[in-house]
Amino acid sequence: MTSIGTGYDLSASTYSPDGRIFQVEYAGKAVENSGTAIGLKVKDGVVLAVEKLVHSKLLVPDANRRIQTVDRHIGLATAGLLADGRNISNRARDEASSYRDIYRSPAPLKAIIDRLGLYVQAYTLYSSVRPFGISTILGGVDENGPSLYVVEPSGVFFGYNGAAIGKGRQLAKTELEKLKLNELSMREAVMEAARIIYLVHDDAKEKDFELEISWIGPESNYTHVHVPKDLFNEAEAQAKAALETFE
C-alpha cells in the first residue's frame, strides 16, 4: 500500500503523480472481499449465480438478494457493498424504463451497459462522492441474442462469455475457462454455475452461504427469473456431490 500517507488517496478527484486514482483502486478491494458472483453466457441464454455469504443465522432465508431484475429480459448480479448494488440496480431499471419510454421497445443490453458505465464513471470524478464499491455482472437476452457484461468501479466495462467477480474469482475463472460455454444447454449451465460457486466457497474461513441462481433463456420465456425450485435443488445437490469427489 504505497499510496497510504502520500495524500493522493484521499479523494477520487485527485490523481497520484503516476496517474492512478487510489480511491477507485480501494473500491476494487471492497469487491475482492465480497462473496463470489459469476455469469455464464451460453448458446440460448445467460445464467447468473452468486455465493451470498450469510453473516447471521438470524437472517431470513432468501433475504437481501444480490441478483436483481432490471427489465423483463435483463438481470444483474453484484459483488461488493450490498447497498451499492441496490443503487446500481435501481439506476439500471430507470435506464431500461427510460429506453422503453423513448423507443417503445425493450432495451438492448449494450444501451443499458453504456449508460451504467457512464453512471459509475461519474462517481470517480468528484471529491464529494465515493466510487461504487461493487462490480456488476449484467446479463440478458435481446434481439442480438444473449450477452454478458461486467462493470467495474472505474466505470469501465467489458463483454464476456463467462465472468467472475468477488473473492473466489480466480478459481471461478479457471473453472469457467474449462467449459465449452457455447455448447452448454441452459440446464447444464445452471449445474455448472452451482458447482463453481460451491467449489470456490472456502468453508474453512467463511460462514454459511446461500446459493442464488437466475437465468434468462427459452425455458424462462426469455425473462429474467430465479431458477425454479426443483431445478435449484437438483443443481445444489449435484454441486455438493461434485465437491465430495473433488476432495
Partner 1 sequence: MDHFPTNWGRPRHEGFDAYGTFPIHQRPTNGPKDAFKEGIERTQQPIVTGTSVLAIKYKDGIMMAADNLASYGSLARFKDISRLHAVGNNTIIGAGGDMSDFQYIQTILDDITTEEFTAQDGHSLGPAEIHEYLSQVMYARRTKMNPLWNALLVGGVKDGKKFLAYVDLLGTTYSASTLATGFGGHLAIPLLREAVEGREDTLTEEEALRIIENSMRVLFYRDARSLNKYQVAIVTEAGVKISESLKVETSWSFAEGIRGYGAQTQ
**Nearest partner of 112 among 94, 130, 125, judged by Cα:** 94
Which residues make Cβ contacts (< 8 Å) with residue 52, sequence separation at least 6? 35, 64, 65, 66, 209, 210, 211, 212
Least distance from partner 1 to the Cβ atom of residue 68, Å: 7
Least distance from partner 1 to the Cβ atom of residue 72, Å: 6
Q: Which residues bind partner 1 (CB under 8 A)?
A: 65, 68-72, 93, 96-97, 100-101, 104, 223, 225-226
Measured CA to CA, the distance from residue 10 to residue 189 in angstroms comes to 43
Task: Considering the complex, state which of residue 97 and residue 170 has its C-beta at the smaller distance from partner 1.
Answer: 97
Task: Considering the complex, state which of residue 98 and residue 174 has its C-beta at the smaller distance from partner 1.
Answer: 98
The H-or-E segment that residue 164 falls in is strand 162-165
Least distance from partner 1 to the Cβ atom of residue 235, Å: 19
Task: Considering the complex, state which of residue 70 and residue 239 has its C-beta at the smaller distance from partner 1.
Answer: 70
Least distance from partner 1 to the Cβ atom of residue 54, Å: 19
Task: Considering the complex, state which of residue 43 and residue 91 has its C-beta at the smaller distance from partner 1.
Answer: 91
Measured CA to CA, the distance from residue 146 to residue 138 in angstroms comes to 11
Measured CA to CA, the distance from residue 170 to residue 162 in angstroms comes to 12
Least distance from partner 1 to the Cβ atom of residue 66, Å: 12
Task: Considering the complex, state which of residue 104 and residue 205 has its C-beta at the smaller distance from partner 1.
Answer: 104
Write the single-letter amino acid at 38: I
DSSP string, 137-160: EEEEEETTEEEEEEE-TTS-EEE-
